[in-house]
Amino acid sequence: MKRMSTIGATALLLAHAFAQQAITLRQAIDHGRTHSPAMAIATNGIRRADTQFHEALAGYLPQVNGTGQFDDNLKRQTTILPAGTFGPEPVPVRFGTQFNTNLSVQAEQMLVDVSQINALQANVPNRKMAALKLQQAEEQLVYDVCRAYMQAQVLEQQVKLLEENLKQYDELVPILRLRLEKGVVQQLDADRVEVTRRNIGSQLTVARANQEVAIAQLKRLIGMPLNEAITLADPVPTATDMRQPGPAPFAVANLSGAKYLEQALLAQAVDLRRKRNAYVPTLSAYGRYGAMAQGNDLEKSYDSWYDYAAIGLKLNVPIFSSFRRLSQVKLSSIALDDLREQQRDALLGYELDHRNADTRLLASTSTAQNDEQNLRLAERVFANTNLQYQQGLASLSDLLNADYQLKEARNNWTTSLLNRSIAVIDLERAKGTLLEYVNTL
């Protein structure tokens, strides 16, 4: 029984350890690339572009159609033969039979259709746009996962700091109670410390809840089941080991958004040419083969079949469409002008984003370094004040003031730490090198 209990306990420990898997930021990103619904949707965009090309190509490949027709001429049409054909008077005649069956198959091959050729040419920018959409989806996923992971890291750090603070007050409260029994301190001092301890406990509860929410958001982004327990493996970086992005100059050519707009312009230009070439005549060749059965008796009408065949050319010349084609050309031209303006505005926005991200990174790095130094100083002040208070050399007000300054320094540090981490990925994203950056993590 003891052996079975030991085996069972070991199995539970192993299962718990496996369930509480530690995940790094790089692992979270890789998991999201494989399991994120956003990535699956973007991948389907490439498949959609390929399918659209095959759809356009089908218009220039042979088209084969079969038709069948059965007529029951309840009352056949009367034709008047003019006088002199079979006699001095006009003669009414009914041609044909009551039952007619016609089966045929026709193959048609487009020979000249310039607008259809333009539709095929649109596949090149369309497929590049789909690939860029996939890259943009990956960049957005990586950016969102980085932010969520960093947010969870900071909240985890806040929880640890609050736990340390609460531990300090848990050690202080018994000392105050002992001093209160000896009459060294007043009841008011003990109550003030107890209130502070309870407030820290409430803050810790909120911080733990926020951390769980951040972890759940991270799991949702990477497509992980919410009931799967994970922990963060990467430590929170300090100001001394923060990675500084490489000195890559700003280049619009590196931005997937700029590349996408360029391909969108090419695709819209092809669409405009296609609309204009709708005025060009089209030429196709066809071949038809069929057979016909007819008779006045339905059953006997199928005893004899008479086949026929034909080949020919079909020329379609657009003449007048009530200005429909002209309106389509104008609309496509307006859409092209809009894209040019959007590109011009986007290029200015990309450059502005890069400058702002660079400025924020410099400011946030300096702030994080200063706040970390301030935190270390506040920790020493609180430790010394706490020791002096226990020795009776400092008042409770001095201790509470030192504690307030320590909590404020901790909050400032965690906030600046998050801001600095986000500023790094903001700059990499503005430079168009975010994917390369996270691959080095």
Residue 17 is predicted with a pLDDT of 42
What pLDDT score does 247 carry? Answer: 60
- 102 in a domain, yes or no? no
Does 73 reside within a domain? no
Give me the numbers of helices (H) and strands (E) for the chain, helices first please: 10, 8
Determine the longest span between alpha carbons in the chain, in angstroms: 148
Task: Please report the pLDDT score of residue 152 as a whole number.
Answer: 93
In a domain, 215, yes or no: yes
71 closest CA partner among 93, 95, 94, 102: 102
**Which pLDDT value is given to residue 244?**
63
In a domain, 205, yes or no: yes
pLDDT under 50: residue ranges of the chain? 1-18
Answer whether residue 407 is part of any domain. Answer: yes
How confident is the model at residue 336, as a pLDDT? 94
Asked if residue 428 is part of any domain, the answer here is: yes
Q: Residue 209 falls within a domain, yes or no?
A: yes
Answer whether residue 90 is part of any domain.
no
- Give the chain's domain count: 1
The range of the structural domain enclosing residue 396 comes to 27-60+113-280+318-438
Question: Which pTM value belongs to this model?
Answer: 0.81
Nearest to 410 by CA among 147, 153, 152, 157: 157
pLDDT value, residue 40: 92
Identify the pLDDT of residue 239: 60
Q: Choose among 237, 215, 242: nearest CA to 148.
A: 215
